[in-house]
Amino acid sequence: LFGRAVTARSTPPDFGAVLHAVGLIGPGDVLVIDAGAQTHHAMIGDILGGHLHRQGAAGLVCDGAVRDVAGLAAMPGLPVYARAVNPLGPTTARIGEVNGGIMIGGIAIAPGDLIIGDDDGLVALPPALLPRLINAAEAKLRLEAEWTARLTAGESIRDIFKLG
């Protein structure tokens, strides 16, 4: 997952902000839903997920529940990260905030932040930090490749990691 955040703050079972935010999604955007970690109602499923997919969204993050996971999983190129799965959908669409600052798992996310995810989890970065972090990330990858090569060559853990 890699894209820019479009944020929605909703209070389940209301998903008004989600509807408005889905209407703003463009290619490469990630819909990031702050449902306050509440999981008693899903905030999105395969109907709106399908619309995101057709719009070229890069992914979906929900700090709450999603539904229709088989349908969502069948959409290639639309990774979905959610706190929970719940078949019970939203019941109202009146309130919420779109493209404001939100909190996901205790982390502040602003509209336009870069959302990066893989099988190990998610990170949100303000775009201004990216140039500074790329060098450090590339250095870490080089170090890990070196460790792997040394382990494969049979060098001891003690020597590689300087365990004294």
Give the model confidence (pLDDT) of 88-113 as tens digits.
Answer: 999 999 999 999 999 999 999 999 99
- Note the pLDDT of residue 131: 87
Beta strands 114-118 and 2-9 are antiparallel
- For the full predicted model, state whether its pTM sits above 0.85: yes
Give the DSSP letter of residue 87: S
Q: Which residues of the chain have pLDDT under 70?
A: none
CA 37 to chain centre: 14
Helix then strand count (H, E) for the chain reads: 5, 10
